[in-house]
Amino acid sequence: MQDVINKLVNALGPSKVITSTDVLRRYSRDFWPLLMMREQVFNEELPRPLAVIIPSSVNDVSTALRIINGGNDVVPVVVYGGGSSVTGASYSADSIIIDMSRLNKIISIDGRDLLITVEAGARLRDVEGKLNEMGYSLRHIPQSFNYATIGGLIATMSSGQYSTLYGNIEDIVVNLEVVLPNGEVTWLRSNNVPRASTGPSLKYLFIGSEGMLGIITKAVLRIVPLPTSTIYGAYRFDSFEQGIESLRELMIKRITPAVARLYDGNEATLRFGVDKPLLIISFEGYYDDLVKALWRRADEIVKGHGGEYVGSRYFEDWLRTRFNVEEEIEMVRRYGLWFDTIEVSTTWSRINQLYRDFRESLFRVNGVVGVMAHISHLYINGACIYFTVLFKPDVNTYWELWSRAMEITLRDGGSISHHHGIGIVRSRWLGHELGNAINILRAIKDALDNKGVLNTKNGMFFPD
Ligand SMILES: Cc1cc2nc3c(=O)[nH]c(=O)nc-3n(C[C@H](O)[C@H](O)[C@H](O)COP(=O)(O)OP(=O)(O)OC[C@H]3O[C@@H](n4cnc5c(N)ncnc54)[C@H](O)[C@@H]3O)c2cc1C
């Protein structure tokens, strides 16, 4: 291992290969709640990575991977974007980290074809800020807006708060430049076009690959002009099921909201002080009359399912507090509790059953004190249910609640993750969801990375 680090220092220079304990400690966890609980509640010193490489060019990334891949012993590498993974996907014990933060340039913004080309280590917040100054937006706004990088968002197949109208990251990525585990640098297409029927689209290999198949170094993404017209408000329901029916009808009739978040009574109480299911919803576009027409139709549909209009205040409350991550964690700690979030997806016909079974099953876990949920990210055939689970801090409770959550979701025909990805926390259930197709994934991994260098210790193929 020391031999590899010496070669890296010789090739890249000492300022790009860091081994000082203080710096390594900063990389010893991502936002995986299990690691945060061990560090912040149990005061554990977490294992550190072996070294951190901070490349400042694609060439540096390529050189680093060539050296590491060429060594006799395999030293695992973990790609690190903003470190905001909540699944342990960027956890790096016994690995070398490649921190992408210096590859952060916006290369071009094309307002005619609505494309941006950007380096993968750029923070979403900075990219969106620049776009907004010029009258554009990605309209990809996850709650991790202030932390996440473009490469990390692509690698985890992320979803933003406006996904119902603008799509998820896979709908936004047009082209990628990647460095393969052997150091080879390649774009996945020679042109940036809206669609192409030229064999399987290779971008999908890397979207959601969680750093396992290659390092994304640049991305071409589609942008939109900033919307100029918006209407928002909120509705209260007597039952969660009524709210769900209204969302289904909106999606089928193509009255597509920009944001729609239906909170169950528990989460509505905690977040808004409303003790019934609450829907906050917005429509947006470029013409007031069209947006008003959508709003009028939506109002009819939602009221038709028992929704009672309760004004615009709750939507504004959400807008104001939606990135208050640290405050939320602090509140849970104050009650002597810990938490995790588990976002799953399913079809409309199964959604009520999954919601009920999930809550019932998790409440049976010793130490679980709260299970609440909201529905967001809507599709014509279903939606994401985002559960928040509160529990007394304990590692056994943690794994027991995750086992139940994954098993009940699979049993009820849902997907184990809508947008947080697999990481370490879900790795043992990935095979259950993919069935025999997991062998295709393994074969691709072996073909691209036969030595198992990239994200092998912390990701989808984490040894159980
Ligand atoms: C408070 C909070 C809120 C969140 N909200 C959302 C949300 O609304 N929607 C959502 O989808 N997710 C959300 N997430 C989780 C989500 O996975 C991350 O925010 C984001 O997608 C990861 O970006 P990152 O740059 O921090 O990646 P990291 O955590 O650094 O990395 C995540 C994974 O991607 C890999 N990776 C990173 N960069 C690259 C690259 N350039 N090339 C190849 N692989 C790479 C890493 O190795 C790792 O496997 C949230 C997380 C937090 C902490």
- Tell me the pTM: 0.97
- The Å distance, Cα 388 to ligand 1 centre, comes to 18
Closest ligand 1 atom to 157 CA:
11
Query: 109 near 130, Cβ under 8 Å?
Result: yes
Find, among 216, 228, 100, the residue nearest to 169 by Cα: 216
Q: What is the CATH topology of the domain spanning 2-101?
A: 3.30.43
Residue 399, token pair as written in the block: 């794994």
Query: 412 near 361, Cβ under 8 Å?
Result: no
Burial of 185 from C-beta contacts in 10 A (0-12 / 13-18 / 19+): middle
- Give CA–CA dist 248/237, Å, rounded: 15
Q: Look at residue 5 in the predicted model and tell me its pLDDT.
A: 94
Residue 306, token pair as written in the block: 């028992």
- The Å distance, Cα 235 to ligand 1 centre, comes to 32
Domain with CATH 3.30.43.10 in the chain: 2-101
Which residue bears the tokens 């699944």? 87
- The Å distance, Cα 375 to ligand 1 centre, comes to 21
Residue 310, token pair as written in the block: 């309760």
- The Å distance, Cα 30 to ligand 1 centre, comes to 9
| Ligand 1 atom 37 nearest Cα | 152
Q: Look at residue 462 in the predicted model and tell me its pLDDT.
A: 63
Find, among 195, 194, 192, the residue nearest to 177 by Cα: 192
Closest ligand 1 atom to 458 CA:
49
3-class DSSP state of 35: helix
Closest ligand 1 atom to 87 CA:
17
Residue 394, token pair as written in the block: 């304990």
Residue 299, token pair as written in the block: 């109002």
- The Å distance, Cα 252 to ligand 1 centre, comes to 31
- The Å distance, Cα 153 to ligand 1 centre, comes to 5
Closest ligand 1 atom to 103 CA:
41
Closest ligand 1 atom to 216 CA:
42
CB under 8 A, 24+ apart: contacts of 285-290: 285/227, 285/228, 285/229, 286/225, 286/227, 286/228, 286/229, 287/229, 288/229, 290/229
- The Å distance, Cα 185 to ligand 1 centre, comes to 23
- Give CA–CA dist 302/247, Å, rounded: 8
Closest ligand 1 atom to 100 CA:
41
- The Å distance, Cα 39 to ligand 1 centre, comes to 20
Q: Give the rounded distance of the alpha carbon of 186 from its chain centre.
A: 25
455 lines ligand 1 (CB under 6 A): yes
Instruction: Pick 229-321's CATH classification: 3.30.70.3450, 3.40.50.880, 3.30.2310.20, 3.40.1360.10.
Output: 3.30.70.3450
- The Å distance, Cα 98 to ligand 1 centre, comes to 15
Closest ligand 1 atom to 161 CA:
8
* Phi-psi domain of 423 (left: phi exceeds 0; alpha: psi -120 through 50; beta: other): left
Closest ligand 1 atom to 153 CA:
21
3-class DSSP state of 220: strand
Q: Look at residue 457 in the predicted model and tell me its pLDDT.
A: 67
Which residue bears the tokens 């799953």? 344
82 lines ligand 1 (CB under 6 A): yes
- The Å distance, Cα 309 to ligand 1 centre, comes to 36
Interhelix angle 265-272/313-321, rounded to 10 degrees, is 70
What pLDDT tens digit does each residue of the chain (464 aa) get?
889 999 999 999 999 999 999 999 999 999 999 999 999 999 999 999 999 999 999 999 999 999 999 978 889 999 999 999 999 999 988 899 999 999 999 999 999 999 999 999 999 999 999 999 999 999 999 999 999 999 999 999 999 999 999 999 999 999 999 999 999 999 999 999 999 999 999 999 999 999 999 999 999 999 999 999 999 999 999 999 999 999 999 999 999 999 999 999 999 999 999 999 999 999 999 999 999 999 999 999 999 999 999 999 999 999 999 999 888 888 899 999 999 999 999 999 999 999 999 999 999 999 999 999 999 999 999 999 999 999 999 999 999 999 999 999 999 999 999 999 999 999 999 999 999 999 999 999 999 999 999 988 667 776 55
Closest ligand 1 atom to 217 CA:
41
- Give CA–CA dist 313/280, Å, rounded: 10
- Give CA–CA dist 29/297, Å, rounded: 47
- Give CA–CA dist 319/322, Å, rounded: 6
List Cβ neighbours of 89 (8 Å cut-off, separation of 6 or more).
Answer: 30, 155, 156, 210, 211, 421, 422, 423, 424, 455, 458, 459
149 lines ligand 1 (CB under 6 A): yes
Mutate to test the pocket of ligand 1, among 84, 124, 186, 449 (most ligand atoms within 8 A of CB): 84
Domain with CATH 3.30.300.330 in the chain: 325-425
33 lines ligand 1 (CB under 6 A): no
DSSP category for residue 226: P
Radius of gyration (C-alpha) of the chain in whole angstroms? 22
Mutate to test the pocket of ligand 1, among 40, 90, 125, 215 (most ligand atoms within 8 A of CB): 90
Find, among 253, 304, 242, 307, the residue nearest to 281 by Cα: 307
- Give CA–CA dist 131/222, Å, rounded: 11
Strand 96-99 to strand 77-80: parallel, antiparallel, or no bridges (unpaired)? parallel
Q: What is the CATH number of domain 325-425?
A: 3.30.300.330
List Cβ neighbours of 137 (8 Å cut-off, separation of 6 or more).
Answer: 128, 131, 223, 224, 225, 226, 227
Element (H, E) at 292: helix 288-304
Mutate to test the pocket of ligand 1, among 158, 424, 456 (most ligand atoms within 8 A of CB): 158
